[in-house]
Amino acid sequence: MVVFTVRIIDILLIQWAKLICLIYFLALCLAFSSLAHADVKEAEQFFLKYQELWNSFDIEAADLYTDNTKFLGKRVYPNGVVRSIDLPAPYLKDLIRNTMPLARLKNDRTEYSNVKYEITELGVKISADRYSTMKCFTDPTFYIIIKKIDGEYKIVESYGTSQPQSNCQ
């Protein structure tokens, strides 16, 4: 009788331990889900700021990038030649600051559609179809990855496809 009672107590303890583990696991999932949701909300705000700075031709757009941002992409030429792009971040940031006045003169604006946010190990990946109003060209490969550094989001990786010619009629 004692052995039987001890066995029932053992079974009940095991079941309680399983229940506690399940509750702990669900709490962790809920906490991670809340953090991921907060990251996506902040990423949405960051991307709105990104678009606002670029489309108002503000040189502060360069400050959204880190000094180590990976700026990758490709340039597709009319003759079919495709060149890979891998620019150093300091060069890219200077290029942005120096070309914003010309972009303003040409009213070179960008529109984004099909925007998606994804939590990755590098940060939040924001991908979209990027449309150049000046070149009438849609880049479906565009993405940026942002990461919180010293309390604020910065772009740590950027990718896109460009072309030198305009498709406008």
CA distance 151 to 154: 10
Amino acid making up residue 81: V
Using DSSP's 3-state secondary structure scheme, residue 144 falls into strand
* Phi, psi of 12, deg, nearest 5: -65, -40
Q: Which CATH number fits domain 2-162: 3.30.420.40, 3.10.450.50, 3.40.640.10, 3.40.50.2000?
A: 3.10.450.50
- pTM here is 0.77
The answer to whether the CB of 146 falls within 8 A of the CB of 126 is: yes
Domain boundaries, the chain: 2-162
* pLDDT tens readout for residues 148-162: 999 999 999 999 999
Using DSSP's 3-state secondary structure scheme, residue 1 falls into coil
Higher pLDDT, residue 19 or 123: 123
